[in-house]
Amino acid sequence: MEVYAIVNQKGGVGKTTTASAMASGMALRGYRVLAIDLDQQANLTYSLGGKPGDGVAEVLKGEPIDKAIQSVGGVDLVPPGRNLASIDHMKPDPRMPYLLANALKPCKYDYAVLDTAPSLNALSILALTAASQVVITVQAGIYALKGVASLMDTIRGIQASTNRKLRIAGILLTRHTDRAVVRRELTAGVRGAADAIGTKVFATPIRDNVAVEEAQANQRDIFSYAPKSAAAKDYTAFLDELLEEAKP
């Protein structure tokens, strides 16, 4: 099973939108997909049509993961659960970083997609330790560039300690527009940052598109809600690139 963690410690950069599009898009292509919501705000759960209930919090405390899985359309979902934030306050334990990775071992899926919170915390460590690949979502801007550098320190720490096989699939530009010269310059800066950390920027940026928010409000995936929208076309191209590289 290929496990993708969608990360960036900054909010509003399209992590949940990307996680939802990845899970739904993969399922539409016939793959078995598990989406895991690691954010107490439960935005991924809502956008996929899930319901509150047992979830990640209970799984990390020992409940079998199959008891927390909800079927939502063609995707299986694990919601955050009750009081997920309490995980940050669990007693230090050398086994802690591996809790999610171990919980996923019995799962029989083609792909798992982990949506993370807009912060670097204990749950981020769990996600990166469980993942095989990382997709970094970035909205082109000076603060986003600073955030990538900080995130890379965390990823390198994970690679050196709890997950030596973790690799960066690439940086995905989100909420993109080419209308302003300064935005084009900042986009070039993101590409330079990607070169500096030894990864790439995915070929297709995700254009800023109101259809994304409309689909989320209606608890629909972007592909069924607005299949001709810019966002649906962009995420389709992104998935084409991502899954082509994932082929053995």
What's the pLDDT tens digit per position in 27-80? 999 999 999 999 999 999 999 999 988 999 999 999 999 999 999 989 999 999
> pLDDT: is 246 or 18 the higher one?
18
User: Over the Cα atoms of the chain, what is R_g?
Assistant: 17
> What angle is formed at CA 95 by the lines to CA 90 and CA 99, rounded to 5 degrees?
75
Number of domains in the chain: 1
Residues near 128 by beta carbon (within 8 Å), at least 6 away in sequence: 5, 7, 134, 154, 155, 158, 162, 163, 166
**Secondary structure of residue 34 in the 3-state scheme:** strand
| Nearest Cα residue to 51 out of 219, 213, 217, 212 | 219
| Nearest Cα residue to 103 out of 64, 134, 55, 76 | 64
Distance CA 45, CA 19 (A): 11
Distance CA 43, CA 173 (A): 20
Q: How confident is the model at residue 93 (pLDDT cuts 50, 70, 90)?
A: confident
Whether 123 shows a pLDDT value over 80: the answer reads yes
Residue range(s) defining the domain that contains residue 148: 2-246
54, 67 Cβ separation under 8 angstroms: yes
Q: How confident is the model at residue 142 (pLDDT cuts 50, 70, 90)?
A: low
The model carries a pTM of 0.91
CATH number at residue 37: 3.40.50.300
In eight-state DSSP terms, residue 164 is: T
Beta strands in 100-237 (DSSP E): 111-116, 133-138, 167-173
